A and B are shown apart, each in its own frame.
Chain A
Amino acid sequence: MRSAGLEALLVAIVLLAGGFAAGQWLRGEPSHAAPSSCPYSGGGPPFSLQSFEADRPRQLYLDTQLLAAANQLFPEDEEFQLFPLQVGEQRIEDPSATIPPEILHAISWIESKTNQTSIEVPYGDLGPALVSFDCGYGIMQVTSSIINDGGLPSRYEALTGTHFAYNIAAGARILAEKWNEGFYPIVGANDPGYFESWYYALWAYNGWAGVNHPANPSNDLFRAPYNCDDAGNGYPYQELVLGCIANPPIVDGRALWTAQPVSLPDLTLLSAAGAPLDLDVFYAGLDSISFYPGGPAQPPFADMNMALPNGAQRRAAPDLGQAQATRARVLGEPDGRLETDELALTSSQLESGAVPLLIHNEGTGLLAWRIVDAPSWLSFGVQAGVALGSGYPFSNAAQSSRLSISAAAGGVPEGSHRGRITLEFHYPDGSSSVETVAISLDKRGAAYYEAGHPQS
C-alpha cells in the first residue's frame, strides 16, 4: 500500500512536471539558445565546432595577440598571415609596420571578453566554440569569409572557429584589411604607431554605420571616456576599443594589460559644421556612394580625414626578441593520432546514441582537425575541433578530441554499408596530413530476427 502511494505520488509529480515543461516550452525558447541559422552568412546553420579555452588571466591569448599584431604568428600561411600595412597618406605598403597589440587585446575583450569557447566551458578545457547569434566565431568574433551554407567547414573556417591562434590571426587580418582600405578616411599621417590613427579602421571593423558616429543621437554626448568594465551602451565602437586600451579590464584583481594613454578626437572642434566628424559630412559620404553606383571620383569619406588629436603619442614597437620562443610556447608541436583507422558500427549503436572516435594529440599545444569527407548516412557532433596535447601549464593533462558519430537524419537504410571518413590534421607550420577511418555498418531489420537470428 505504501509502495502504491509512492508510485501514485511519482506519477503525479511526473504529470505536473510534464505540464510545467510544456508550458515553459509554449512560452518560447529562452532567447539565449544557440543560433539556428546564419541569415547574413550563408543562411545555413552555424558550424558545430569544438574548441579550447586557455587560462583565465588570458595570458596565452595576450601573447598570441602580440605575435599576430606583428605578423609573427603565421607569416607563411596565405590564409592567416597579416596583410602588410599601408602607411602614410600615399598608403605605401610597409612590411615592418605593425598593429599595436593593445588594440587586439581591447577588440577581443569588447567582442568576446577574450573567450574562445562558450561561457560554460571551464578554463583549460575543451568545449563548444563561442558562436554568436549572428554567427561570429571565437575570440575576435570573426564573421568575414565564413560561409554557413550547411556544408563542411573549409580550412579557414575550421581553424578560425576551433583554434584560438588562428582566430586571433583572422581578426588581426580583418583589421589590417580595414586599415588598408582606401575607402575609409585616415587620421594624421596614417601612421599605425599611434593608437589614435586606428580610429576609422576600428569603426569599420565593427561596421561603417551611423551608429558608430561619435555625434549620432544614439550616442550620449555627455559620456565619460569608456572604461572596459563598464557597459558599452551609448558609445561608438571605436571609443569602446580606445577607451578599453586606456582603462583595461580587471581580472582577479589585475589589469589584463598595462593601461596606455589614448587621446580621443576633440568633438568640440571636429564635429562642428563641415568638420571631419560632423554627422552631415558622414551622411554626405554615404549619399555619394548611394547616388553614384559607379563610385565617386575621390574616396567618398575624404572630408573626414583628420589630424591626430592633441596629446597623441607614438607607441614604441613592442620587443619581439623572444617572438620565436613565444610562438613555440603558444602553438606547441602537436602530433595527431587517430584512435583507430577502422570502425565497425552496429545499427543498435547508431540508434541508441553516438559512437565516439577519439583523436589524440601526442605532442604539445593544440592539434586542429576537420572532417573533409564523410558518408551522407552519418552525422557528427562536431565538424572540426582541437585535441589538447601537453605543455600548457594551466591544463592538467592532454585531452583527446571526441568525434561523435551517429546516423544521419532519416536513419540508415537496411543493408550492408561501407564508407570512409576523411579527416585533415593541421599543424602550425602550415602542413597538414590526411587521415581516414574505414566505416562498416551492417544494418539488419526485423526480417533478420524473424529468420531466427541470433542463433545460440
Chain B
Amino acid sequence: MLRVDASRFKLRGRRRLVIWLLLIVLPVVGLLLGLFVPRAGTTIEFGSGSLFESSSGEVSPVFLASEYHDTYTTLWLANAHDPDKRSRLADIPHAPGWDIEASVNPIQPAVAVLAIPPGGWDPASHASLLVISKDGVRHLATNLELRGGLLWSDDGRHLVAQRAGIVLVLDASSGTVVADWKPTRTHSAHPVAMTNDTLWVATLQSSGTAIAEVQLTESGPVTVERLKLSDGVTRDWTLSPDGSRLAFTEQHGLDLRVRVVPLHDDDVPHLVSSRWSVAERPSSGSWDDVGPSGSPVWRPDGRLDFGTWDEAASEAGFTLPIAWDQRGEWLALRSLDGSGPGKVTGERLAFRGPDGSLVQASDGLSFVGWWAV
C-alpha cells in the first residue's frame, strides 16, 4: 500500500523557496543539456593545435579525411606532411554499404555530413544532414539525396543539398530551408557553388549540359542565365576563386577534356551550341598538348591544374588533383593504379608539398577537405 507522509509537504519560508527554485532550475538545466549535448553514436574529439606541426616540426596544413567501415565512417584530422599523425574527429554511424558524403566549411572549422542512418537503405531519399563543429553535432535535415551533392556557401553560413530533385539551400545553424530551386526539363542537377546570393547548378538534359545561375532573391529564386557548356555530358564543375570562370571536364565516352568557360564575359556568347567553342585554354599547356585530362582544380591565385594520363602506360599509374590548401602550397591528390578512366585497379590518397615531394596517406583514407584555420 502506498503511504503518504503529509509532513513532507509542510515546507516553510526559505526552504520552500529553495525547493521551488530547484524544481524550476533543474529541468531547465537538463533541457539545455539535452539540446546541446551530442547524441551517443557520434563522438567528437577536435584536433589540437599541435596537429599543424609534422613529426619533424614543420608547420603544414591540416586536412579532414574519412575512413569507411561497414557500419560507420571515421572522420580524421591529419597533417598533410605526416598523414599518419592524425586525430579522430568523429565516428558517424550509417547504414551498411553506404559511406558518408562530407564537405568542409570554407571559413570555420566545421564539416557537413550526409549519411544514411542505420535502418535506411535508399541513397535517393534516406540521407540525413549533420554539421559537426566545436559546438557539437547538429542534426539539420532528413530525407535528402546522398549522391545529390553537398556544398557550403562561400561565407560558410548556408548548405546546399538535394531532396527529390529539388535543390535546397539550408541555414547551416538551424537547418531551415531558406530557398529551393527545381530545375525544369533536366535529367539531373548538380550544385556547383554558392557565392553571395547566387547559386550555380550544372544541369544535364538530352541536349547537353548547362550551368544555371540562380539568384536567391527575397521573392524566391530566379534563374537569370543558363549557359550551355556542352552538347554532351560534363562533370567536375568548379568555380574559380574570383567567381569569374568555371572549369569542368567534358566527357565523350571515356574521352575526357578539361574546359574553362568565362561566366561574365560579354565578349563570349552565353548560349552556344558548338561542342568546343566555349572552351578557353587552361592556364598551363594547351588542349592539343594536354590530351586526355580531367579533375580540374583551381589554385588560390586563379591558376588551374588538372590530371592527365597515358593510356598506353598502364604500369605507371597517374594522379588526379583534388584540392589546393588555402595558401596554395599543398595539393591533395588521388594516386591511381591503372591507365585512365574505366581502367583503374586501386587508389590511395597522396599530397604534394611545396618542394614537390609526394607523401602518401594510409590505405582507406579519402580526402574530404582542407580544415579551416
Using a CB-CB cutoff of 8 Å, which residues 270-285 of chain A contact chain B? 270-273, 275, 278-280, 283-284
Contact check, B97 vs A113: say whether CB atoms are below 8 A apart. yes
Contact check, A221 vs B342: say whether CB atoms are below 8 A apart. yes
Question: Chain B's nearest CB lies how many Å from the CB of A167?
Answer: 15
Contact check, B122 vs A132: say whether CB atoms are below 8 A apart. yes
Contact check, A232 vs B31: say whether CB atoms are below 8 A apart. no
Using a CB-CB cutoff of 8 Å, which residues 319-373 of chain B contact chain A? 320, 334, 336-338, 341-347
Contact check, A31 vs B128: say whether CB atoms are below 8 A apart. yes
Interface centre among B35, B101, B124, B294 (most CB of A within 10 A): B35
Contact check, A217 vs B190: say whether CB atoms are below 8 A apart. yes
Using a CB-CB cutoff of 8 Å, which residues 134-164 of chain B contact chain A? 139, 142, 146-147
Cα A284 to Cα B202 in complex, Å, equals 19
Residues of A within 8 A of B337 (CB): 224
Cα A210 to Cα B96 in complex, Å, equals 23
Task: Tell me, yes or no, whether B285 is within 8 Å of chain A by CB.
Answer: no
Cα A216 to Cα B99 in complex, Å, equals 19
Contact check, A26 vs B342: say whether CB atoms are below 8 A apart. no
Cα A316 to Cα B263 in complex, Å, equals 57
Cα A27 to Cα B251 in complex, Å, equals 44
Contact check, B206 vs A284: say whether CB atoms are below 8 A apart. yes
Task: Tell me, yes or no, whether A144 is within 8 Å of chain B by CB.
Answer: no
Task: Tell me, yes or no, whether A414 is within 8 Å of chain B by CB.
Answer: no
The 0/1 profile, CB within 8 Å of B marked 1, for residues 117-135 of chain A is 0110000000000001110
Residues of B within 8 A of A275 (CB): 253
Task: Tell me, yes or no, whether B224 is within 8 Å of chain A by CB.
Answer: no
Binds B, one of A12-20, A374-382, A399-407: A12-20
Task: Tell me, yes or no, whether B110 is within 8 Å of chain A by CB.
Answer: no
Using a CB-CB cutoff of 8 Å, which residues 244-276 of chain A contact chain B? 266-273, 275
Q: How large is the interface on B (under 10, 10 to 19, 20 to 34, 35 or more residues)?
A: 35 or more
Contact check, B232 vs A280: say whether CB atoms are below 8 A apart. yes
Task: Tell me, yes or no, whether A312 is within 8 Å of chain B by CB.
Answer: no
Task: Tell me, yes or no, whether A412 is within 8 Å of chain B by CB.
Answer: no
Contact check, A134 vs B125: say whether CB atoms are below 8 A apart. yes
Q: Which residue of A lies closest to B137 (CB)?
A: A27
Using a CB-CB cutoff of 8 Å, which residues 114-131 of chain B contact chain A? 117-126, 128
Q: Which of A19, A119, A215 contacts B30 (CB 8 A)?
A: A19
Contact check, B33 vs A20: say whether CB atoms are below 8 A apart. yes
Residues of A within 8 A of B101 (CB): 233
Q: Count A interface residues, CB 8 Å.
A: 66
Task: Tell me, yes or no, whether B259 is within 8 Å of chain A by CB.
Answer: no
The 0/1 profile, CB within 8 Å of A marked 1, for residues 192-207 of chain B is 0000000000101110
Question: Chain A's nearest CB lies how many Å from the CB of B179?
Answer: 22
Q: Which residue of A lies closest to B142 (CB)?
A: A31
Task: Tell me, yes or no, whether B182 is within 8 Å of chain A by CB.
Answer: no
Cα A253 to Cα B116 in complex, Å, equals 27
Cα A28 to Cα B34 in complex, Å, equals 11
Task: Tell me, yes or no, whether A22 is within 8 Å of chain B by CB.
Answer: yes
Cα A232 to Cα B126 in complex, Å, equals 15
Contact check, B147 vs A233: say whether CB atoms are below 8 A apart. yes
Task: Tell me, yes or no, whether A211 is within 8 Å of chain B by CB.
Answer: yes
Residues of B within 8 A of A34 (CB): 119
Contact check, A110 vs B120: say whether CB atoms are below 8 A apart. no
Contact check, A20 vs B30: say whether CB atoms are below 8 A apart. yes
Interface centre among A136, A230, A231, A270 (most CB of B within 10 A): A231
- Majority secondary structure of chain A interface residues (helix, strand, loop or mixed): loop
Q: Taking A26-B34, A230-B68 as contacts, is the C-beta distance between A273 and B344 under 8 angstroms? A: no
Contact check, B120 vs A272: say whether CB atoms are below 8 A apart. no
Using a CB-CB cutoff of 8 Å, which residues 26-80 of chain B contact chain A? 26-37, 39, 68, 70
Task: Tell me, yes or no, whether A76 is within 8 Å of chain B by CB.
Answer: no
Q: Which residue of B lies closest to A134 (CB)?
A: B122
Question: Chain A's nearest CB lies how many Å from the CB of B296?
Answer: 14
Task: Tell me, yes or no, whether A286 is within 8 Å of chain B by CB.
Answer: yes
Task: Tell me, yes or no, whether A33 is within 8 Å of chain B by CB.
Answer: yes
Contact check, A19 vs B253: say whether CB atoms are below 8 A apart. no
Residues of B within 8 A of A118 (CB): 119
Interface centre among B23, B206, B235, B338 (most CB of A within 10 A): B206
Cα A268 to Cα B341 in complex, Å, equals 8
Residues of A within 8 A of B204 (CB): 210, 217, 279, 283
Contact check, A133 vs B119: say whether CB atoms are below 8 A apart. yes
The 0/1 profile, CB within 8 Å of B marked 1, for residues 2-30 of chain A is 00000000001001111111111111101
Cα A273 to Cα B231 in complex, Å, equals 11
Cα A133 to Cα B120 in complex, Å, equals 5
Contact check, B31 vs A19: say whether CB atoms are below 8 A apart. yes
Residues of A within 8 A of B341 (CB): 221-222, 267
Cα A216 to Cα B188 in complex, Å, equals 9
Task: Tell me, yes or no, whether A63 is within 8 Å of chain B by CB.
Answer: no
Interface centre among A17, A133, A217, A229 (most CB of B within 10 A): A217
Contact check, A268 vs B39: say whether CB atoms are below 8 A apart. no
Task: Tell me, yes or no, whether A218 is within 8 Å of chain B by CB.
Answer: yes
Q: Taking A217-B235, A287-B206 as contacts, is the C-beta distance between A19 and B251 under 8 angstroms? A: no
Cα A225 to Cα B190 in complex, Å, equals 25
Residues of A within 8 A of B70 (CB): 229
Contact check, B34 vs A19: say whether CB atoms are below 8 A apart. yes
Residues of A within 8 A of B118 (CB): 32, 119
Q: Taking A113-B96, A233-B101 as contacts, is the C-beta distance between A19 and B28 under 8 angstroms? A: yes
Cα A216 to Cα B253 in complex, Å, equals 11
Cα A33 to Cα B344 in complex, Å, equals 39
Cα A270 to Cα B117 in complex, Å, equals 36
Contact check, B27 vs A16: say whether CB atoms are below 8 A apart. yes
Given contacts A218-B190, A280-B206, 6 further A-B contacts (CB under 8 A): A21-B30, A24-B35, A210-B188, A217-B233, A224-B337, A268-B343
Q: Can you list 19 contacts pairing A with B, beta carbon distance less than 8 Å?
A: A19-B31, A25-B34, A27-B34, A32-B119, A118-B119, A119-B118, A132-B126, A141-B121, A217-B190, A217-B204, A218-B147, A221-B235, A224-B338, A224-B344, A267-B342, A270-B253, A272-B255, A279-B232, A283-B204
Q: Which are the 8 A-B pairs with shortest beta-carbon distances?
A: A23-B34, A19-B30, A231-B99, A272-B253, A19-B27, A217-B235, A15-B26, A32-B117
